Amino acid sequence: MTAKSAPTPRNTPAEPTDKLLHQFVGYNMKRAYMQIQDDMSETLAPLGLRIGTFSALAVVMGSPGISQTQLSQMLNIKRSGVVVVVDELERASVLERAPVEGDRRAYSLVVTPAGKRLWQKAEKAVQAHEAALFSGLNAQEVLTLQDLLGRAARSAGRQRRENSS
C-alpha cells in the first residue's frame, strides 16, 4: 500500500473487512432486510403508513372481517400490538372495527372505501419501489429469491418448533 489516507490504528489491515460475517446467511439476510426496510418506510410515509400499518391493511384487504386475534397470528405479533396498529388505522379512517354478531367480545375488521383507495395506491407504490430497488436483479432472479426466502423461513420455523417441543 502506498498512500494511507485516514489516520488508522497501526496494525490494522488497510481495509477492515466483515468477511467472517458474510459467510452467514443470517447476516446477509439482516443487511438486505435493513436496507429494504428503510426504503420501504420512506415509500410509505407520504401515504401516512408505516410498515406495520401497511402490513395490517394488506391482511385485512385479503381477509375482510378478520378478527384482531387472527390478525395478530397472521402478522406474528401479539394481540396487544395489534391494538395499536388498528387504533392508528381506524383513526385514519382506513378501517373499522365492526361488531361480530354472535360474539360481543370480538371485532370484525373491515377496510373502508377510503382505505381501499389507499391500499390501491400503497400497493402500486411499493410494487414500483421494489422494482426500482431490485433493478440489479432480473425477473427470474427475483422469483428465485422469493422462493428461497419462503422456503428458508418455513425451514427455520419448522426447525424451531421441533426444538421447542
Partner DNA sequence: TATTGTTATACTCTATAACTATA
Partner DNA sequence: TATAGTTATAGAGTATAACAATA
Interface contacts to DNA, rule CB under 7 A: 6-7, 50-52, 67-70, 76-84, 86-87, 97, 102-107
- What's the min distance (Å) between Cβ of 60 and a second copy? 9
* Site residues (CB under 8 A) for a second copy, limited to 69-108: 70-71, 73-76, 100-103, 106-108
Question: Is the distance from CB of 63 to CB of 109 less than 8 angstroms?
Answer: no
Task: Select the residue interacting with a second copy from 1, 3, 20, 139 (CB under 8 A).
Answer: 20
By the rule CB under 8 A, 26 interacts with a second copy: yes
Ramachandran category for residue 48: left, alpha or beta (phi over 0 → left; psi -120 to 50 → alpha): left
Grid coordinates standing for 147?
422462493
* Site residues (CB under 8 A) for a second copy, limited to 37-66: 37-40, 55, 58-59, 61-66
Which residues neighbour 48 within 8 Å (Cβ) at sequence distance 6 or greater? 92, 118
**Residue with grid cell 427455520, as numbered in its chain:** 156
Which CA distances in Å does 30 have to 81, 131, 145? 23, 20, 15
Grid coordinates standing for 43?
415509500
Q: Select the span of 79-87, 88-96, 133-141 touching a second copy (CB under 8 A).
A: 133-141
By the rule CB under 8 A, 5 interacts with a second copy: no
- What's the min distance (Å) between Cβ of 129 and a second copy? 9
The single-letter DSSP state of residue 35 is H
Task: Select the residue interacting with a second copy from 2, 5, 18, 104 (CB under 8 A).
Answer: 18
Q: Which is nearer to DNA, 69 or 144 (CB)?
A: 69
- What's the min distance (Å) between Cβ of 136 and DNA? 23
How wide is the angle at C-alpha 38 spanned by C-alphas 151 and 159, nearest 5°?
Answer: 25
